[in-house]
Amino acid sequence: MSEENEGECVSSSLAVIDKVVPNGWKMKLAKAAAQLIAGSEKGAVAYGELRERIDTIEGRSVVSKALAQAIAQQAVGDPEMLERAKARFLGRAIQQQENVEAVVAGASQHLPLLPAPIEPVASEDATSKGQENNQEVPEESLNSDWAATFTGFAENASSEDLRDRLSRVLAGELKSPGTYPRSTVRIIAELERSDLEAVRNVLPYAFGNYLIRTEGAEPLPSIDMLLPLVDAGLVADANPMLGRTWPAALEDESLCIVGGYLWGLGVYVKKGQSLRVPIVPLTRTGIAVANLLERPDEKIILRSLAERLPSDLYSKIVIGQMSGENRIFNLQQILPSPMYTNVTPLGGSGLRL
pLDDT digits (tens, 9 = 90+) for 158-179: 999 999 999 999 988 888 888 8
What are 351's strand-pairing partners? 258
Reply yes or no on whether the pLDDT at 280 is more than 70: yes
Q: For the chain, what percent of residues have pLDDT higher than 90?
A: 36
Domain boundary among 33, 59, 77: 77
- Averaged over 125-138, what is the pLDDT? 46
**Whether pLDDT at 315 is above 90:** yes
User: Nearest CA to 284 among 182, 204, 190?
Assistant: 182
Mean pLDDT calculated for residue range 95-118: 73
Q: Does residue 301 sit within a domain?
A: yes
CA 290 to chain centre: 10
Q: Is residue 42 part of a domain?
A: yes
Distance (Å, whole) CA 236 – CA 282: 6
Distance (Å, whole) CA 169 – CA 291: 9
Q: How far is CA 188 from the centre of its chain?
A: 5
The answer to the question of residue 114 being in a domain is: no
- Residue 116 pLDDT level (bands cut at 50, 70, 90): very low
| pLDDT band at residue 277 using 50, 70 and 90 as cut-offs | very high
Amino acid at 343: V
- Determine if residue 125 is left, alpha or beta; phi over 0 gives left, psi from -120 to 50 gives alpha, anything else beta: alpha
| Residues contacting residue 116 through CB under 8 Å, at least 6 positions apart | none
For the chain, state the CA radius of gyration: 30
Q: If DSSP states are collapsed to H, E and C, what string results for 186-224?
A: HHHHHCCHHHHHHHHHHHHHEECCEEECCCCCCCCCCHH
pLDDT of residue 117: 36
CB 314 within 8 A of CB 307: no
| Confidence (pLDDT) at 136 | 45
How many structural domains compose the chain? Answer: 2
Higher pLDDT, 250 or 282: 282
Show the 3-state SS of 31-91. HHHHHHHHCCCHHHHHHHHHHHHCCCHHHHHHHHHHHHHHHHHHHHHCHHHHHHHHHHHHH
* Residue 185 forms part of a structural domain: no
138: in domain? no
Angle at alpha carbon of residue 110, lines to 107 and 115, rounded to 5°: 75
Q: How far apart are CA 104 and CA 331, in angstroms?
A: 40
- Mean pLDDT, range 110-115, rounded to an integer: 56
Predicted pLDDT of residue 43:
52
Q: Residue 41: give the domain boundaries.
A: 3-77
Q: Which of 22-26, 53-57, 75-79, 187-191 has the lowest mean pLDDT?
A: 53-57
Decide if 160 is inside a domain. no
| Amino acid 126: pLDDT | 45
Q: What is the mean pLDDT of the chain?
A: 77
Same domain, 344 and 207: yes
Tell me how many degrees the CA angle 120-123-127 measures, rounded to the nearest 5.
110
What average pLDDT does the segment 13-39 reach? Answer: 60
**Of 52, 77, 102, the domain-final residue:** 77
Instruction: Look up the pTM and report it.
Output: 0.64
Q: Which of 61, 77, 93 is the last residue of a domain?
A: 77
Output 296 or 162, whichever has higher pLDDT: 162
Residue 159 region, left (φ>0) first, then alpha (ψ -120 to 50), else beta? Answer: beta
- Helix (H) / strand (E) element for 302: namely helix 298-308
